[in-house]
Amino acid sequence: MDLYEYQGKRYLARFGIPVGRGTIADTVDAAVAASDELGYPVVLKAQVKTGGRGKASGVRVAADPAEAASHAEAILGLVIKGHTVRRLWVETAAEIAHEYYVGFALDRAAKLHLAMVSARGGIDIEDVAEKDPGAIARLEINPLDGLSASDAQTLTSAAGIGAEAREGVTDVISRLYRCYIEGDADLVEINPLIVTTTGEVRALDAKVTLDDEAAFRHPEWSEFAEAEPDDPRELAARAKGLSYVSLDGSVGIIANGAGLAMSTLDVVSQAGGAAANFLDIGGAADAEAMTDALEVVNSDTKVRAILVNVFGGIVRCDDVARGVLDALGRVQLASPIVVRLDGTHAAAAHALLEPHLSDRLVMAPTMLAAAQRAVELAAGAGR
């Protein structure tokens, strides 16, 4: 489970990592009231579960109430990488002297934890990682040994953190490791970790992914799970037991199984298109699940074509075909739909669909052909 920034900061704070004071606001008025209460300058930050908010103008500093109002107005409703902003985190603005990066993640291949620290944090960390990987100090950590105080110091020096922040950053590294281990996270990242002009070190951002397998020993996590997702379609899909993720392209994807759904994303991009979502209907590709899935994807106005990619293993393709036809009778689709069905009883499925084919319902023999057709339709179609 990914946490929103404000939840992530609350999580970091439990382990003694300094974070700013702030409030959640979901209207312009609430944002201004929160800003007045905190005292200016404040920073208004889009709460969406994706990075790159700064570059998308989803993070803005306000010096007075008028500015807070206009920034809140501008950020609420903004779409960042397919996520619509419905809530803001309003925090006392920091005066930044330097931005650093600190993170821990699981290195599955090495079966070790990986620490990463850099003196060049901030919104361009991906560029740093790509063009100047040496600027990121790394340390593999054996979970049985843990991270010692001297390991934390080594990381701070190897990253070239300046003397003014060395002690504070080392302390945050040790605390963040505890948060990662005792907090049962798969990923914790602070970017930027800053030192202020007055020498205070604090986390300005937080990315925390909790390990869902550990939920049984964290009853307190229910507060995070209950927080509303930022996309109403994700909420609708979750209520129907479907796994849905919003993306920013124009091809709506419905597939059975997460692996196939991910491959479908790849093939759509190979065909020159981009997926509008990731929707896994799981094992039950029956009429009910197909109707639910089509309703969710159809409600997304970014979608210009829908690609249904189902491989029949246990599920029979003819059942899926019946499901698609039944669903088409119930849902008025705004976009054409391309269906690729292969596997168990595929021939029977094709025979069922054949009489209903049109320029709105297209069948394709392979995953690539289906993706190409869907991308063409998405490019050509008006909605």
Catalytic residues: 101, 189
Q: What's the min distance (Å) between Cβ of 108 and Mn ion?
A: 24
By a kind-dependent CB cut-off of 5 to 8 A, residue 30 interacts, out of ligand GDP, Mn ion, none, with none
Instruction: Tell me how many degrees the CA angle 374-286-303 measures, rounded to the nearest 5.
Output: 30
What does the DSSP assignment read for 221-265?
GHHHHHSPPS-HHHHHHHHTT-EEEE-SSSEEEEESSHHHHHHHH
Binding residues among 94-133 for ligand GDP as defined by CB under 6 A: 94, 96, 99, 122-123
Asked whether position 47 contacts Mn ion by CB under 5 A, the answer is no
Asked whether position 204 contacts ligand GDP by CB under 6 A, the answer is yes
* Selected binder of ligand GDP within 67, 151, 205, 231 (CB under 6 A): 205
Cβ proximity to ligand GDP: between 193 and 327 the closer is 193
Closest-CA residue to 247 (of 54, 50, 88, 69): 50
Cβ proximity to ligand GDP: between 22 and 312 the closer is 22
Q: What's the min distance (Å) between Cβ of 123 and Mn ion?
A: 7
Q: Report d(CA 313, CA 134) in Å as an integer.
A: 47
Q: What's the min distance (Å) between Cβ of 191 and Mn ion?
A: 4
Q: Which two tokens stand for residue 15?
A: 């382990």
By a kind-dependent CB cut-off of 5 to 8 A, residue 52 interacts, out of ligand GDP, Mn ion, none, with ligand GDP
Q: Report d(CA 210, CA 207) in Å as an integer.
A: 10
236-261 burial, b if ≥16 CB within 10 A, otherwise e? bbeebebebbbbebbbbbbbbbeebb
Q: What's the min distance (Å) between Cβ of 319 and Mn ion?
A: 46
Cβ proximity to ligand GDP: between 188 and 371 the closer is 188
Backbone phi, then psi, for 363, in 5-degree steps? -115, 145
Q: Which two tokens stand for residue 217?
A: 């020993």
CA 230 centroid distance within chain: 10
By a kind-dependent CB cut-off of 5 to 8 A, residue 204 interacts, out of Mn ion, ligand GDP, none, with ligand GDP
Q: Determine the interface stretch with ligand GDP among 29-37, 91-99, 105-113, 370-378 (rule: CB under 6 A).
A: 91-99
CA atoms within 13 A on the CB side of 224: 22
User: Mask 174-213, x = binds Mn ion (CB under 5 A)?
Assistant: -----------------x-------------x--------
Asked whether position 253 contacts ligand GDP by CB under 6 A, the answer is no
The closest residue (CB) to ligand GDP is 54
Residue type, 40: Y
Instruction: Tell me how many degrees the CA angle 371-373-376 measures, rounded to the nearest 5.
Output: 110
By a kind-dependent CB cut-off of 5 to 8 A, residue 94 interacts, out of Mn ion, ligand GDP, none, with ligand GDP
Q: What is the dihedral of CA 260, 264, 265, 268, to 10 degrees?
A: 170
By a kind-dependent CB cut-off of 5 to 8 A, residue 96 interacts, out of ligand GDP, Mn ion, none, with ligand GDP
User: Mask 33-62, x = binds ligand GDP (CB under 6 A)?
Assistant: ----------x-x-----xxxx----x-x-
Asked whether position 183 contacts ligand GDP by CB under 6 A, the answer is no
3-state secondary structure 82-114: CEECCCEEEEECCCEEEEEEEEEEEECCCCEEE
SS3 115: strand
Note the residues at the interface with ligand GDP (CB under 6 A). Answer: 43, 45, 51-54, 59, 61, 93-94, 96, 99, 122-123, 191-192, 204-205
Contact positions toward Mn ion, by CB under 5 A? 191, 205
